[in-house]
Chain A
Amino acid sequence: KQEVTQIPAALSVPEGENLVLNCSFTDSAIYNLQWFRQDPGKGLTSLLLIQSSQREQTSGRLNASLDKSSGRSTLYIAASQPGDSATYLCATFSSGSARQLTFGSGTQLTVLP
Chain B
Amino acid sequence: GAVVSQHPSRVICKSGTSVKIECRSLDFQATTMFWYRQFPKKSLMLMATSNEGSKATYEQGVEKDKFLINHASLTLSTLTVTSAHPEDSSFYICSARDLNTWETQYFGPGTRLLVL
Asked if B83 lies at the interface with its beta carbon under 8 angstroms from chain A, I say: no
Of all chain A residues, which has the CB nearest B110? A43
How many A residues face the partner with a CB closer than 8 A? 23
Tell me the bound Cα distance from A53 to B107 in angstroms: 24
Asked if A79 lies at the interface with its beta carbon under 8 angstroms from chain B, I say: no
Asked if B114 lies at the interface with its beta carbon under 8 angstroms from chain A, I say: no
In the complex, the answer to whether A103 meets B108 with C-beta atoms within 8 Å is: no
Instruction: Choose among A42, A43, A89 the residue that contacts B43 (Cβ–Cβ < 8 A).
Output: A89
- Nearest Cβ in chain A — how far from B66, in angstroms? 21
- Nearest Cβ in chain B — how far from A92, in angstroms? 12
In the complex, the answer to whether B93 meets A43 with C-beta atoms within 8 Å is: yes
Given contacts A42-B110, A99-B102, contact A108 B43 (CB under 8 A): no
- Which residue numbers of B lie inside 8 Å of A, CB to CB? 6, 34, 41-46, 49, 91, 93, 95, 102-105, 107-110, 112
